Structure 1
């Protein structure tokens, strides 16, 4: 068992509008072999917009991602302007499983949901969602469902 993941009840459910899922998968394909990242905007448990953001890490974008403070601010402002909330973030794991890494665990905040897309040899594969446990010891599973409405903005 991966030490970054907790076995247990589903922490919550997350609904991704189909255009949001399509946008995340497209972003993962375009960024490969690097990690892509972006913001999840919506209300409550319903993501209606995937806002792609630049991966600004200096540690090597093939194994890490970083959302800069400026890009975080842009995502917050975008959500506020649309009368929605910043629900969390997505990123890809090129040629690795869609499971949180130790680095993901070290940099996560407990009030956001994190969507991870596995990209295998350039092709989007599994997509999972996670939320940091309150004690910050591991991630809990978030169940993902897909719907028909929403939008994507780059």
Structure 2
């Protein structure tokens, strides 16, 4: 499935990744699900990982509940999770695979020396292996932020 990301949502994710460097950042993204997933909004959450956050992120269960409620309240689909990989490629780790949910897209932002170096999106297949999603940045005509 193709993923279309609004420039505004992508910029928010990238700004978050650069601001939290050298630690991993994380957040959710929302939009519309159909033949194409359209990402319109990105919302950051705090990395709840105890200890070293340079190689891991964790999302508090409360933040998941809030994300689901936000989607309901704003008539949006919760499409996935984004996170950064400081000084590593925008490719999922084995840990990422183990904790991933099959219905979500996972946008990974590579940050090198404090600047975004790449952005890629991934989704689990039926064998619980990640496959890269084709991604396109777009400017949507409808409002992209609530």
**Per the shorter chain, which TM-score range?**
over 0.9
Provide the C-alpha distance between the structure 1 equivalents of 2:101 and 2:119, rounded to a whole number of angstroms. Answer: 20
- Equivalent residue of 2:55, what SS? coil
Partner residue of 1:19 out of 1, 8, 32: 8
What is the CA-CA distance between 1:133 and the residue it aligns to? 1.2
Provide the C-alpha distance between the structure 2 equivalents of 1:147 and 1:109, rounded to a whole number of angstroms. Answer: 26
Question: Would you say 1:118 and 2:116 are equivalent positions?
Answer: no
Instruction: Report what 2:47 is aligned to.
Output: 55
**Greater relative CO, 1 or 2 (CA 8 Å, sep 6+):** 1
Provide the C-alpha distance between the structure 2 equivalents of 1:126 and 1:41, rounded to a whole number of angstroms. Answer: 21
Instruction: Report what 1:36 is aligned to.
Output: 25
Say whether the 8 Å CA contact 1:42–1:85 is kept in structure 2: yes
Unaligned regions of 5+ residues in structure 1, if any? 1-11
- Equivalent residue of 1:57, what SS? coil
Runs of 4+ deviating beyond 2 Å? 149-153
RMSD value over aligned CA atoms?
1.2
Partner residue of 1:101 out of 89, 93, 99: 93
Unaligned regions of 5+ residues in structure 2, if any? none
Say whether the 8 Å CA contact 1:35–1:92 is kept in structure 2: yes
TM-score (norm 2): 0.93
